[in-house]
Chain A
Amino acid sequence: MSGDDRSGGARRRGRAALERLVRASAAERVFISTAALVLSMAVGVVIVLAAGRMTTCGEAAAVYFGVGFCYDPFAVYDSLFLGALGNPINPLFRPLEGQFAPPFRRGWSPLNGQMAVTLRETTILVFTGLSVAVAFRAGIFNIGTQGQLVVGALATALAALYASPLVAGLVGTLVLIPFGLLVGALSGGLYGAIPGALKAYADANEVITTIMLNFVATGVALYLVAGPFKDPASAANETVSLPGYAIFPPVVFEPRDDFSVLALLFGVALVGGVYYLLEHTAFGYDIRTSGIQPEAAEYGGVDAERTVVSSMAISGALGGLGGAVYVLMIIGNYQTGIPAYGFDGITVSILAGNNPLGVGFAAFLFGVLKSGSIVVDVNTGAPPQLVGVLRGLIILFVAMPEFFRLLGRRVVAIEPERPVATDGGRPGDGGDDAGAEAGGEVDE
């Protein structure tokens, strides 16, 4: 074989791998993601060791093969993942060494404070991830989830504030929280419908309009909370805090954890709801058809304009709900400087392959990484920038297979061999006419 043969073989293997990836089953995709996670950690270990060698420190954090390192990569990953769950593992539990102490650390409870941080982040990211995913499925790249979240948060904070004197106590909670969520969803939905309408009726690219509307949202919100709706008692730009009964009750966690299982359950219910909407309703069918093949959707009687507007409204409503939960569960008013949950939602959605069911898991992974970073910062000497690198690596590695699937679907679709590989039916039907249109007529 010549060198040329080898490069041809490599190309073919590459294409075969891409095809394999596109056709991977759900179980295989979970396996691929897990393998990617492990691989990213292997690379991360090397980076942490290298960074540890290049730093000067008084005392080595770890010594491997007689060489001292300033940061111990295993301690870093231990803190990143297990720290996010509140360090559940008993140090005496070493099954590999034949020590079968109880696996969980004494005194560990799944309801610990760090777990609350993890789940709190997860909850918000479920909303923003779903928001991006719905738009994606309709073929729209909604970068405006952040703006929709800001609008939803501000509207909720103000509406709940002005409604709170009318009710109080348990009744207040029962009324104000659904009311706040509704306001968040409606305002976010309306704000999402604007770029939807611009796209549908004025052919304006949604990527541009949503990015611009993000600035508009943050700018207008800043003006409002710095001026008309500013809390006079505060030096910061924020609204008056909501009364305690307007805040999500923590249920099984501590109130100081700023996390409510109810909000998480609401998010999980929405995951199921969005999945149902997309897969089991005629409207979801319209959305998915427009998303992957607009011409076919038009042929099938789908009103393209209306579908764009309504899917953007749903997307915006989910983003707005994220903002409402952020206010009603975490901060209790509107303050400037809302974290970039909306942008993280884009990554969450891609990580999940834009599948609502996957969004739950992807949001949890993100929650773990965010919360674990704090633990790494506290427990180990590793600088936050280094932890940022490790987080980025994990996301990059886990998202890449999904990203290649998205790309590969297009590549594989135009490859001539694809139909044959899946055409397996009767003998002789070996995929002539491979997926291509055999135009022209049969004689006579």
Chain B
Amino acid sequence: MATAVHLDGITKRFPGVVANDDVDLAVRRGTVHALLGENGAGKTTLMNVLYGLYEPTDGQVYVGGEPRRFDSPRDAIDAGVGMIHQHFMLVDPMTVTENVTLGNEPRKWLGLTVDEERARREVVDLRDRYGFDVDPDARIEEVGVGVQQRVEILKALYRGAEVLILDEPTAVLTPQEVDDLFAVFEELTAQGKTIIFITHKLGEAMHAADEITVLRDGRNVGTVPADEVTREELAEMMVGREVLRTVEKPPADRGERVLAVDGVSVDDDRGVEAVSDVSFSVRAGEVFGIAGVDGNGQSELIEAVTGLRDPTAGRIVYRGEDVTDWSRRRRIEARMSYVPEDRHERGLVMDFDLTQNGILGSQHSDEFACDGRLDWDAARDHAETIIEEYDVRPPNRRAAAASFSGGNQQKFIVGREFERDPALVVATHPTRGVDIGSTEFIHDRLLALRSSGVAVLLVSSNLEEVRGLSDRLAVVHDGEIMDVVDPESATEEEIGLLMAGEDPSDGSGPVAAGATNEGGR
């Protein structure tokens, strides 16, 4: 089969950093190729070279057998290479058709106005050809993330892409949407398109790709056919040592009840009830896990617990006091730590450096503020402690938070929240986007907190993570707790059914059909 893309000896240096070191990559036409590696392995950099965002320091790019030199993405697009970034570049108030044709609109009346009928027709044709389930007249703000992603793909196809690069395409999707995406991959390759997707999830690479290339420290560790490799082999290639251990934890030494949520209901931003009459409690020295497909009320529930959202009903009792009406600040001062779901919006101030971010939430505490005056020396020391203990790279407390990679941002937030001397840690997706080594480290710290008598409320859509860490596991669906199970004895199937809103014990079918698909935001 012909080679669609061939990268020959690509080296990309940045000041002080070699992001890609003599990487060869050959992708056959009509296949799905996964680019697998940990955070900072150089996957995105390599694809940015192919997409014309970076000029390689050394090496040659061949597309369709021709040597190419791209000065900008436009050159790459003209050569039939399209890239879909993690953050979608769509205009929310505009329709699907408008977004797909944006910048390349068919024109009429001497190019003075957009030929809307033709644009719509072309988009419909394109959609039908690839069998996408997309309404051309829907506005982007009205459709889910999975559909938005398909719009991005349509956009690339509309511009004539033969090779599609997707950067971490599954990061924002629910398991259901991930399956849909992989079906789209199949459809596209069947029609001769070539797909390269970046991921750090082993399972996805094995499931969806024909071939997998593993990058580590900027080098190509090897390219293997997906059906001839095991997870263990891939994991070892990724990290350079044997991994995939199971979390081992001593039995829980439960203390007093730290958090009690009693009949709480919460509305989401649109005023629709997202959490309905939920009750549970978390004791000192235990990890209480919440599993569920993203968007089933976990975010709203957690925001109610941490003081970012007012519940519409019910009580939240923390260390014996009713804290339902307490401000966020008061809860922080009462030693409630919170690793938020969205690190870019909430967890970090992107323009602040790490020193300033290190005191976010503690800016009024005695430790950093004496009579309202900030002690920047203490803040500096604090930031350096977190950077060192939690292995934040590069170890530069003066750098703006925005300049760190996602995994390192997460490590810094986790460090800040765990170092607060908490009585309760609320952690949502604490290892999202974090590489394997750091994930292990964060899990160890979480369990160390548990051993020292801290109550932990853990929310994760990663079933392995919540099952491995939790002492008790609540499964939520559509704003309700379906059941609280023992993670050791419950099978993955049972939990999966609960997540889908079905009760495995009576098999009476979906409790609330369709709610799972609308999940992620």
Contacts and interface: CB of A to CB of B under 8 A. Distances in A.
A442 B45 contact: no
B332 A285 contact: no
A64 interface: no
B345 A424 contact: no
A292 B393 contact: no
A435 B405 contact: yes
> Which of B43, B359, B433: most chain A Cβ within 10 A?
B433
A431 B18 CA distance: 10
A414 interface: yes
B423 interface: no
A59 B15 CA distance: 61
Interface stretch (A94-102, A163-171, A299-307, A367-375): A299-307
Given A298-B308, A433-B39, A441-B462, A11 B72 contact: yes
B406 A437 contact: yes
Contacts of A418: 402-403
A300 B352 CA distance: 13
B346 interface: yes
B394 A419 contact: no
A282 B431 CA distance: 30
Nearest to B396: A425
B329 A299 contact: no
Interface string A289-323: 10011011111111100000000000000000000
Interface string A393-431: 000000000000000010001101111111111111111
Nearest to A409: B351
A444 B71 contact: no
A430 B86 contact: no
B369 interface: yes
Interface in A1-46: 4-5, 7-9, 11-12
Nearest to B403: A422
A439 interface: yes
A440 interface: yes
A296 B38 CA distance: 27
A293 B171 contact: no
Given A422-B399, A436-B87, A296 B345 contact: yes
Interface in B31-65: 37-45, 48, 52-54
Given A428-B19, A440-B170, A299 B402 contact: no
A300 B416 CA distance: 12
Q: How large is the interface on B (under 10, 10 to 19, 20 to 34, 35 or more residues)?
A: 35 or more
A109 B115 CA distance: 71
B114 interface: no
A301 B327 contact: yes
Interface string B441-459: 0000000000000000000
A205 interface: no
A87 B131 CA distance: 78
Given A8-B75, A425-B16, A444-B243, A301 B48 contact: no
Contacts of A296: 345-349, 360
Contact of B402 (A282, A297, A435): A435
B54 A12 contact: no
Given A8-B72, A433-B39, A433-B44, A441 B429 contact: yes
A420 B433 contact: no
B348 A442 contact: no
A285 B374 contact: yes
B404 A419 contact: yes
B44 A431 contact: yes
Nearest to B247: A444
Interface stretch (B149-157, B196-204, B257-265, B311-319): B196-204
Contacts of B171: 437-440
A286 interface: yes
B192 to A, nearest CB: 26
A281 interface: yes
Contacts of A443: 201-203, 231, 235, 464
15 contacts: A9-B72, A281-B369, A281-B373, A296-B360, A299-B338, A423-B17, A424-B394, A428-B42, A431-B17, A433-B40, A433-B44, A438-B407, A439-B433, A443-B464, A444-B436
